[in-house]
Amino acid sequence: MVGRLVYSTCSLNPLEDESVVAALVARSKGALQLVDVSGHLPGLQRRPGMHNWKVGDVFGWVDTPNGGGRRQKAVCSTMWPPTSAAAAALNLERCVRIFPHLDDTGGFFIVAIDKVRELPSEMEGLGAKDDDGTKESAAAGVDKWNETTRVAPVIAVDNQKLVQSMVMQYGFSTAAGLDNGLMTRRAGEGDGVMPKRLYFVSSGAKDLLEADGGAAGGMAYAVFRGHKWR
């Protein structure tokens, strides 16, 4: 099935932009091609995509992808720009860079990518594997990853010992509201354990957050963070 994907970020960092696009298109083995959109929106001032860039992390610039040591955990080989010949074949200049001073906007990166034929089999989500070695569906793999590795749905915290600890530490005159307004977003941080991050919400917000398994969890506002037991 052919189609078009538009990849856009609000970042001008090539590690989030051109390097991601270059790695994706290179892995597609010709199935994906960047679209020339220079004729679209002629009034929009823009700059072409980059062919060369430097790679850095919190420790400074990184010269090679095989430097080893602590910083190697923060970088990967696909962050580096492709060779000159490879970059020319990828047509990275077809990426669009929007700078704030050109059009009085925010900074944006935009690229249109056409799928012209089927992707290589290794790119078609084959799914993770269960403990017994059998394959599971890609959707099941994503659900398991979200539940066990990333952020779980919003969970109500019902822990009176924790509430009393907060009353003492912050000098509240009463625990009213705390005992039924605390929530967390980490699996296993409900009753009987110490949450690493707490959210205090109104009763209405709590009802909303608990609806549909906490799908609206991103609407919570943090008031108490990193509270420690006494």
94, 111 contact by CB (below 8 A): yes
Q: What whole-number distance in Å separates Cα of residue 109 and Cα of residue 16? A: 9
Q: Which one of 5, 6, 8, 10 is the catalytic residue?
A: 10
Q: Residue 67 in contact with residue 60, Cβ under 8 Å?
A: no
Nearest-5° Cα angle at 97, 77 to 87? 40
DSSP, res 50: P
Which burial class, exposed, middle or buried, applies to 46 when counting CB atoms under 10 A from its CB (0-12, 13-18, 19+)?
middle
List, in sequence order, every beta strand (DSSP E) within the chain.
Answer: 3-9, 32-34, 47-48, 55-57, 60-62, 96-98, 108-115, 155-156, 182-184, 199-200
> Which amino acid belongs to residue 63?
D
Which helix (H) or strand (E) segment holds residue 131: the answer is none
Q: Is 76 a catalytic residue?
A: no
Residue numbers annotated as active site: 10
